[in-house]
Structure 1
Amino acid sequence: MIDPVILSKEPTTLVGGGMVGAQDIALAFGLAPRIVAADGGAAAALQYGHVPDAVIGDFDSLDSQTKAMIPPDNLHPVSEQDSTDFEKALTRIDAPLIIAVGFSGARIDHQLAVLHGMLRHADRPCILLAEREVILHCPPRFELQMREGAVVSLFPLQPVTGRSAGLHWPIDGLAMAPGQQIGTSNRATGGLLRLEMDGPGMIALLPRAQLAQVTRALLNCAPEHARWPAPGR
């Protein structure tokens, strides 16, 4: 069991060292008003006017100038190398929701590692804010309003089944798995979109403009529908 560095009743913004702009920080901070940085993401947080409540990581990307601008009590180095800085931060934030910025748009291997981390720690609700999409690991049940024709892509990271309402091509009865059945470029029929998954492993990609709606939907999920059990439970 990892002790939390940040214990918050509010959603939390997590800033990474990838591509991140002022609008990304502003959008996330408006919905998740605490800011944590994963290692070198501290530089981006400071650049856009936010001193992180915590900086978590192995600090291999945290330069000395940036480090000097962070209060010492806010620095939380984690030396082990069996997890990424994203995972180190994700597992040490205890919050109802994390909005992660600066974890897409740069190296593909880093982006794949983030998706791996979201699956590995499926008990930590997290939204990735990308250039054109919001990306989430589907909880047991999730629903929100969608405009007709909006792109809804579903990508399984492991074999998973489920049911849907409000999709042009429903997923009911499909055995979805990498290398077999995926759901790229599905479309919302308009109105309520509902996804119910039988287990963890499904990544959903929705339009970036839906960030606020996705955030509210995840925060308003019933507790039994909001997140998967922690590993080992």
Structure 2
Amino acid sequence: MTPLFRSDRPVTLIGGGDVLAVDAAAAVALAPVVMAADGGADTALALGLMPDAVVGDFDSIGDAARAAIPAERLHRIAEQDSTDFDKCLRNIDAPFVLALGFAAPRMDHALAVLSTLCRRPHPSCVVVGAADVVFAAPSRLALDLPAGARLSLMPFGRVTGTSEGLRWPIDGVELAPAERVGTSNEVTGPVRLALDGPCLVILPKEHLPAALVALQ
């Protein structure tokens, strides 16, 4: 399937949840192209950002946003079998995506976002929340993090692997969502992970730059 939106620059994707102005400014500094997921268009405009594209089923975008955004930037996908976040990710061709407004207070929405991250690892996407960032781990990952930093691994299936630089290594351990997970591990040095299976990495938000370096 040909993506609806292509960019040679990174993309800031804005959802309909709460987005702090400081987070939006920091994201746009790193990913200057702005895209919105349905009602995220209203959020983007409220932050003073004009979306280069809006994708979704358009059940939540406001009339004022529809009128303010050029019609050729509005891409409605009517099907109801996927979330607006999924619709966006599968229609972006860009170096990476920073997603804001998707760490929703509703648990079902948040879990759907995390599921989509694992299901659609390309383009690389980092979801930025109030305190943390989360992204799908590639099969090999090297992270330059300070000793003592918190690092969590959340499996979305059966995951095995090896690690360096973690207080509690994962070598010889099988992770699974309904069994053993890897929350609140601690960094002891440069982190090297080899993972076999779908897994998310969760870091404090201050380590977003390190995450982006690792994913590129």
Shorter-chain TM-score range: over 0.9
Deviations 1:8-57 (A, max 9, x none): 12211110001211012112111111110000001111111111010000
Identity of aligned residues (%): 47
Deviates more, 1:81-90 or 1:114-123: 114-123
Match of residue 175 from structure 1: 174
- The structure richer in strand per residue is 2
Cα shift at 1:106 = 2.1
Q: How many residues align?
A: 216
RMSD: 1.1
CA contact (8 A) 2:12 2:31 kept: yes
- Which residue number corresponds to residue 59 of structure 1? 58
Residues 1-233 of structure 1: pairs in structure 2 closer than 5 A: 1=1, 3-190=2-189, 192-199=190-197, 201-219=198-216
1:123 CA drift (Å): 3.1
Normalization by structure 2: what TM-score?
A: 0.97
Matched AA of 1:64: D
Q: Secondary structure at the match of 1:127?
A: strand
Verify the 8 A CA contact 1:39 1:56 in the aligned structure 2: yes
Query: 5+ unaligned residues in a row in structure 1: which ranges?
Result: 220-233
Question: Does the 8 Å contact 2:145/2:210 carry over to 1?
Answer: no
Structure 1 residue ranges (4+ consecutive) displaced by more than 2 angstroms after TM superposition: none
Measured after TM superposition, the shift of residue 156 of structure 1 is: 0.4
Q: Distance in 2 between matches of 1:164 and 1:27?
A: 31
Retained in 1: the 8 A contact 2:149–2:187?
yes
Q: Which runs of 5+ in 2 are unaligned?
A: none
> Secondary structure in 2 aligned to 1:110?
helix
Displacement, 1:204? 0.8
Query: Matched residues in 2 for 1:105 and 1:18: separation?
Result: 6
CA contact (8 A) 1:154 1:204 kept: yes
